[in-house]
Amino acid sequence: DAAMNARPHKVDRRVVEPKRAVSREDSQRPGAHLTVKKIFLGAIKEDAEEHHLRDYFEQYGKTEVIEIMTDQGSGKKRGFAFIAFDDHDSVDKTVIQKYHTVNGHNCEVRKALSKQEMANASFSQRGQSGSGNFGCGYGGDRSYNDFGNYNNKSSNFGPMKGGNFGGRSSGPYGGGGQYFAKPQNQGGYGGSSSSISIHGSSRTF
């Protein structure tokens, strides 16, 4: 924390940008090393309000925008949100811990990537991708594919996904094992279903 708070740093009279170390498991995920200022929150409950999210996540840094996503027709909360910070290091600190307890409920936290960042991350992983086809439901009316390119035409962001999809301690997703996946399509938006689609995945050990 001290090193990040003391930015900028100079080495041999050149300004260098330090970044927090990423675990070996997380470093293999598409987009893990991208510098972003926005996070995705999944599996948040109906009673979660903007002030709950702000009160909790401002321990990691100053928040600029908090968006709790709602259904355009009914106004019902869709179970996920986005938070923009004023510094990318706040995002890096937050995503070190995959699950956070907000207002008494666990939620999943990942980096939020733009459509272009998703496409770039997918391109960098194509050489490792196989031909498997996996899928698992998220539940309710919440819907987004593997890179969080969820079915809401008003947003261009989604979570950086990958890693453990199953097991006893992996959180809300079904299935099992570890997978890398490409976005459902390059256009940016999924269909109208309420499931996660994972295409062109490969299994890693």
Query: Angle at CA 28, nearest 5°, toward 27 and 33?
Result: 45
Residue 162, pLDDT > 70, answer: no
| Cis omega (within 30 of 0) for bond into 172 | no
For the chain, domains (ranges, CATH) are 34-116 (3.30.70.330)
Q: Could you report the per-residue pLDDT of 98-139, keeping only the tens digit for each?
A: 999 999 999 999 999 888 877 776 666 555 444 333 333 333
Share of the chain above pLDDT 90, in %: 36
Query: Three-state SS for 13?
Result: coil
Residue 90 is predicted with a pLDDT of 94
Q: Could you report the per-residue pLDDT of 10-50, keeping only the tens digit for each?
A: 666 776 665 555 555 565 565 667 889 999 999 999 999 99
Number of continuous H segments (helices) and E segments (strands) in the chain: 5, 12
Q: Could you report the per-residue pLDDT of 50-76, keeping only the tens digit for each?
A: 999 999 999 999 999 999 999 999 999
**Strands 9-11 and 14-16, sheet pairing:** antiparallel
Residues whose CB is less than 8 angstroms from the CB of residue 143 and which lie 6 or more positions away in sequence, other chains included? 150, 151, 190, 192, 193, 194, 195
Q: Could you report the per-residue pLDDT of 171-195, keeping only the tens digit for each?
A: 443 333 333 333 444 444 444 333 3
Average pLDDT of the chain, as a whole number: 67
Average pLDDT over residues 146-168: 45
Place of tokens 């908090």: 66
Judge if pTM exceeds 0.75.
Answer: no
